[in-house]
Structure 1
Amino acid sequence: MAGTKEEATFKRSPDVSFDEIDYRNPMDLKNAQESMLREQFVRIEVFKMVRKALENCFRVNGPNAFEECRDLADKYLDMLPNSRAQGYMGYQRNDPSK
């Protein structure tokens, strides 16, 4: 079948927030915890990809790297404060809605 696109389908769990769950229901709590951790791990992997691209840009451009890689460096510095996984316990204990 030439000309048809195959789409990859991935099983994805729903995004759940601590704001909309009942803390007495263990399944809701577990889903919210996993959702928050998954979001943090995705953010970390994106940060790693930007860092790898920045390293490659510096390697390729040599002496002109400071000018050529400026946009990647700015993006890397913007992502730096949020690059660590913090877990869910701090947010779960200090949930503003409860």
Structure 2
Amino acid sequence: MLKRVGRSVKEKWIIGGNFNAILDNSEKEGGRKKPQALMDDFREVIDELSLVDLKIDNGWFKWVNNREGTVMVKERLDHFLISESEVDSFSFIETKVIR
């Protein structure tokens, strides 16, 4: 969907939310590893649209399966993306997830 929108949007981007995707397995703790192809597809879209992934200030993992012990899974599904050309213009920007 981002690729489709990206073809028509010529302005700078700031977009955030739950993308239900991770960029690499460091954004996941527990459970089975995600298929590399899915992570590569998400990274490809971000690169194609010249976006930068801003790190969240208040914690890394925002999705947890609410289980205990070895079956607990945590993932970073929330991403805040900004046009690469605009990163320096917003050096003060902070990203926070509010629940």
The answer to whether TM tops 0.5 is no
Higher helix share: 1
Higher relative contact order (CA 8 A, sep 6+): 2
Interval containing the TM-score (normalised by the shorter chain) = under 0.3
TM-score under structure 2 length normalisation = 0.26
